């Protein structure tokens, strides 16, 4: 029989992996609470239309990366490749637009059929926030500040830089599109097949191409800053002014784009040089047209998503878990009393490792293996006298104390 392995692009999260990822989620949860955001959890799969409508039928995600299947009822179902569309659907489905402004955060698994590499898997996990109902640039600044606070709480803000761009308003994008198409048409023969197709459908997507030939052409392409309306320029100035006021450093990067029409104004990424090719750890922007794209009312929105795996890699190992205390009974009666004692101590908030079987030597080896801080040792004789031995496993010092005072003795060693 072939050895069973996880599917390519997926991986098991072992206890230490879970601790690393939990630290990222906990940081997001704490920052979100400070900003007044509530948690939302959407289903891992949705009707395919939720994503094809919001992400665009010609996007790489929809055409190449989605895990889509027909269920037994004949419905087209897709494992979520990102969560903004799912959250927007949930807002519409549950009538939450009556509660604007609406602040939501999430954490969960996403799925994309991509070439696996460090920091990029086919099943991956993201944290993210969505802010609905705030058209003012203050919302963009707050969203970016939240992302910076999460990075700061993880101790990695100094390892990432904020790159910022504007996509302008509709008038700006119409003017820019014309200039971009004119430029790209001159270089059509040098573009990749995908970019030639995008030139006819959505030329701004070419700016985000990873093809080396495309990137050389894009290097001299027109910039949207030369085509911003007065209103769009004023919006961007208020965003940068807000970041300056908060002391959040940034670099303007005119090549950050979002290819879908419902994105507008601010686009940003927190980027690091420490993870190789997968350098973006948090990315987001404003998407005022998303709700309309999903047949809802016009509703401004801004948000971001961060890769939990990448953030966990960047943050490194978390602080060690609290060391447990070992309960080491010797004898049948002592084993029964140890089970009760362990239960009592755990309910008091102590981390307890209870040996299930073995002689004293084997149980003490187990205590050392789990890096126990101390061991509570008693046999039937000690049990008859109502005492136990408390051994400090760091110093080797051992004292005897009444069993009812074991909790007190352990807390003194914490």
In this prediction, residue 119 has a pLDDT band, given cuts at 50, 70 and 90, of low
Instruction: Write down the mean pLDDT value for the chain.
Output: 91
The CA–CA distances, whole Å, from 158 to 27, 148, 168, 271, 284 equal 16, 10, 29, 11, 19
In whole angstroms, what separates CA 17 from the centre of its chain? 14
- Say whether pLDDT at 60 is over 80: no
- 124-179 pLDDT, tens digit per residue, is 999 999 999 999 999 999 999 999 999 999 999 999 999 999 999 989 988 988 89
Tokens standing for residue 235: 């919006």
**What's the CA gap between 401 and 392, in Å, rounded?**
13
- 192-224 pLDDT, tens digit per residue, is 888 888 887 778 888 878 788 888 998 888 988
Q: Which of 274, 307, 316, 370 is nearest to 20 (CA)?
A: 316
Residue 287 is predicted with a pLDDT of 94
The CA–CA distances, whole Å, from 403 to 285, 344, 366, 393 equal 60, 12, 22, 19
Q: Which residues of the chain form CATH 3.40.50.800?
A: 325-413
Peptide bond into 74 cis (omega under 30): no
The CA–CA distances, whole Å, from 90 to 83, 93, 140 equal 10, 5, 22
Residue 206 is predicted with a pLDDT of 85
Count CA within 13 A, CB hemisphere, residue 116.
11
CATH architecture type of domain 15-169+229-315: 2-Layer Sandwich (3.30)
Contact assessment for residue 105 and residue 147, using Cβ atoms and an 8 Å cutoff: no
In sequence order, what E strands does 213-291 have?
A: 251-252, 264-272, 280-286
The CA–CA distances, whole Å, from 287 to 168, 174, 205, 257, 298 equal 11, 17, 16, 12, 11
Residue 61 is predicted with a pLDDT of 61
| CATH topology (fold) of 325-413 | Rossmann fold (3.40.50)
Residue 374 is predicted with a pLDDT of 95
Determine the number of helices (DSSP H) and then strands (DSSP E) in the chain: 15, 16
Q: Which residues of the chain form CATH 3.30.930.10?
A: 15-169+229-315
pTM for this predicted structure = 0.88
- 1-47 pLDDT, tens digit per residue, is 567 898 898 999 998 999 999 999 999 999 999 999 999 999 999 99
In this prediction, residue 57 has a pLDDT band, given cuts at 50, 70 and 90, of low
């Amino acid at each position: 029989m072939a050895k069973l392995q996880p599917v390519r692009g997926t991986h098991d999260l072992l206890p230490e992996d879970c601790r690393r990822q939990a630290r990222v989620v906990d940081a997001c949860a704490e920052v979100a609470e400070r900003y007044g955001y509530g948690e939302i959890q959407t289903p891992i799969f949705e009707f395919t239309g939720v994503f094809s409508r919001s992400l665009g039928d010609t996007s790489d995600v929809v055409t190449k990366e989605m895990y889509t299947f027909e269920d037994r009822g004949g419905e087209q179902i897709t494992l979520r490749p990102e969560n903004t569309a799912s959250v927007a659907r949930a807002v519409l489905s549950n009538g939450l637009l009556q509660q604007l402004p609406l602040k939501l955060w999430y954490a969960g698994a996403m799925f994309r059929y991509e070439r696996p590499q460090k920091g990029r898997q086919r099943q991956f996990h993201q944290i993210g926030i969505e802010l609905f109902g705030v058209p003012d640039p203050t919302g963009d600044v707050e969203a970016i500040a939240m992302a910076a606070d999460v990075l700061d709480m993880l101790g990695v803000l100094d390892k990432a830089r904020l790159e910022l761009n504007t996509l302008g308003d509709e008038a700006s994008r119409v003017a820019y599109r014309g200039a971009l198409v004119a430029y790209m048409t001159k270089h059509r023969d040098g573009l990749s097949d995908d970019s030639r197709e995008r030139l006819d459908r959505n030329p701004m997507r070419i700016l985000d191409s990873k093809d080396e030939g495309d990137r050389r052409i894009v290097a001299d392409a027109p910039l949207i800053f030369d085509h911003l309306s007065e209103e769009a320029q004023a919006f961007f100035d208020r965003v940068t002014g807000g970041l300056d006021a908060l002391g959040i450093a940034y670099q303007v990067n005119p090549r950050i784009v979002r290819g879908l029409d419902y994105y507008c104004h601010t686009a940003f990424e927190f980027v690091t040089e420490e993870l190789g090719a997968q350098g973006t750890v948090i990315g987001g922007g404003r998407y005022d047209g998303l709700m309309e794209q999903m047949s809802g009312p016009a509703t401004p929105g801004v948000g971001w998503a961060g890769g939990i795996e990448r953030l966990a890699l960047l943050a490194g190992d978390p602080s060690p878990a609290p060391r447990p205390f070992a309960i080491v009974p010797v004898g049948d009666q002592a084993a029964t009393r140890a089970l009760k004692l362990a239960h009592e101590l755990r309910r008091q908030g102590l981390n307890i490792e209870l040996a299930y079987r073995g002689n004293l030597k084997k149980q003490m080896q187990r205590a050392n293996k789990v890096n126990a801080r101390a061991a509570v040792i008693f046999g039937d004789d000690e049990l008859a006298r109502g005492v136990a031995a408390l051994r400090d496993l760091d110093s080797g010092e051992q004292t005897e104390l009444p069993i009812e005072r074991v909790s007190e003795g352990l807390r003194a060693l914490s």
